[in-house]
Amino acid sequence: MKKKSKTVAFGGICVALALIFAYIEVLIPPLFTSLPGIKMGLPNIIIVFLLYRKGPVFAGIVSLVRILLVSMLFGNMMALMYSLAGGVLSLLVMIILRKLSFFSPVGVSVAGGVAHNIGQIIMAALLLETSELGYYLAVLAVTGTVAGVFIGLCGALLIKRIPDKLI
């Protein structure tokens, strides 16, 4: 029972940290005010760390809870749909690349960032019933790559600095 309680408590801490990062992200002024949909994805630092330290199921649960809570706190139903589409595709891609084991956390994060953007574009195309949004993917791929490198470097630093015995 002690191990289960510790796991639940650690999960709660991870969700809380991801929410704090999401709130910080809301406070940061947009880098490209005329370009919608561009964010750093700071909460994904926690997801990358968990993917390497606690596994895909734990990372997936924390990611899903975080997406639901962030959408309720800072968004709306549309934000939830976009976040779920991007988050699920991103997580699936990161899980696959992590299992291949020749990608670093930075590579996994970059692929996850780009996959997140692809998921959002697919959702937007379905909701708006247009394929014209595909052109915007080029812009999002560049920003997703840059953000993915930053998130991956932060995640790699956590993986390196936080020993297994603490989690």
Helices and strands (H, E) in the chain, number of each type: 6, 0
User: Looking at residue 27, what is its pLDDT?
Assistant: 84
pLDDT band at 16 (very low <50, low <70, confident <90, very high): very high
**CA–CA separation, 112 and 107 (whole Å):** 8
Is the per-residue pLDDT at 83 higher than 90? Answer: yes
User: Looking at residue 74, what is its pLDDT?
Assistant: 85
Helix (H) or strand (E) holding 125: helix 105-128
Q: Which of 34, 36, 37, 54 is nearest to 46 (CA)?
A: 54
**Mean pLDDT, range 82-87, rounded to an integer:** 94
Reported as a single tens digit per residue, the pLDDT across 23-78 is 998 888 766 545 666 788 999 999 999 999 999 999 999 999 999 999 999 888 88
Model-level pTM? 0.91
pLDDT band at 13 (very low <50, low <70, confident <90, very high): very high
Q: What angle, 0 to 180 degrees and rounded to 10, lies between the N-to-C axes of helices 56-74 and 44-53?
A: 160
Domains of the chain are 2-28+38-166 (1.10.1760.20)
**CA–CA separation, 83 and 90 (whole Å):** 10
Reported as a single tens digit per residue, the pLDDT across 100-158 is 988 999 999 999 999 999 999 999 999 988 888 888 888 889 999 999 999 999 999 99
